[in-house]
Amino acid sequence: MTEISLGGDMNVSNKLYNKLIGGFLFMAGLLSVLPAEFVVSVFLFIGVTYSGVVMIKSAMSYDLKTKRSTKT
């Protein structure tokens, strides 16, 4: 039996598929064990925290770019 390689794209899509399925199974497991309100509140907290960190990092990088451009 001969294997045909389809390039690197197939490997990336398989990894993405595995991560999506793993995330779905993780969420299903959490919802089956923990109360749904707790899970939702934890994910909201994670989302707000992550978005705050992203906003702070983008503001800092903008400030650094502004300082570099006005320094010259």
Residue-range domain boundaries for the chain: 8-71
Report the pLDDT value the prediction gives residue 51, as an integer from 0 to 100. Answer: 94
Helices and strands in the chain: count of H runs, count of E runs: 2, 0
Q: What is the mean pLDDT of each run of 10 residues along the chain (72 residues)?
A: 52 84 87 83 93 90 72 56
Among residues 43, 13, 42, 39, the alpha carbon closest in space to that of 28 is found at 39
Terminal-to-terminal C-alpha distance of the chain: 65
Q: What's the whole-model pTM score?
A: 0.46
